[in-house]
A and B are shown apart, each in its own frame.
Chain A
Amino acid sequence: GAVVSQHPSRVICKSGTSVKIECRSLDFQATTMFWYRQFPKQSLMLMATSNEGSKATYEQGVEKDKFLINHASLTLSTLTVTSAHPEDSSFYICSARDQGGSNQPQHFGDGTRLSIL
């Protein structure tokens, strides 16, 4: 089945550091990838939709200058949390959909647990 790989799985860093998270579709091409955030005991919240070769579309309330998204190829999207602070600590999860069909399911990575000290 379709596999989405996310790296790193866990990051612990100091406040003010920028952190980059990679999301790769391993066996399919993804025109569109999605970035979610999940706080403890809450559901997944969509942050942004990443479009290959164009600017990402951010959900309301998500700062585009804080969460930089790059989708340079059909198999790779990156999320950079700039100048991270403790309130950015969360579980970040990426998702990708095979561009082969419009009703193809989205597949998810295993997430990145970000802890800002």
Chain B
Amino acid sequence: DAKTTQPPSMDCAEGRAANLPCNHSTISGNEYVYWYRQIHSQGPQYIIHGLKNNETNEMASLIITEDRKSSTLILPHATLRDTAVYYCIVRVATGTASKLTFGTGTRLQVTL
């Protein structure tokens, strides 16, 4: 699986949009981009995933560049409960052996 690069930490004011970048310059054509977050002492929570088109759900939006070498997770109106470590992961979709490999992620701190 391709490696990803994320900033180690970011701050965001409550109510503002949080934009979390991720570089995945060696992504393959059949690899999806997944975003998860982990709130302290809990298991990771799935947020969103995409292949090449931008995606939006009730939690966030995922913007993938046209060359697919980077993406941005957008939390439109961050709240204190969004404070967590956010992981950007690329994964081959096919086959039962495809698995999520976690990097160090971005620690997002939402402040008042």
Contacts and interface: CB of A to CB of B under 8 A. Distances in A.
B43 A49 contact: no
Contacts of A75: none
Interface residues of B, number: 26
Label chain A's interface by main secondary structure: strand
B103 A43 contact: yes
Contact of A95 (B32, B100, B103, B104): B100
A44 B44 contact: yes
Interface stretch (B20-28, B68-76, B89-97): B89-97
Contact of B96 (A51, A91, A109, A111): A51
A45 B60 CA distance: 26
Interface in A1-53: 4, 6, 31-32, 34, 36, 43-46, 49, 51
Interface string B31-64: 0101010100111111001010000000000000
Q: Give 10 closest A-B pairs by Cβ, nearest first.
A: A108-B43, A103-B93, A44-B102, A105-B46, A43-B102, A108-B44, A110-B43, A111-B43, A93-B43, A102-B93
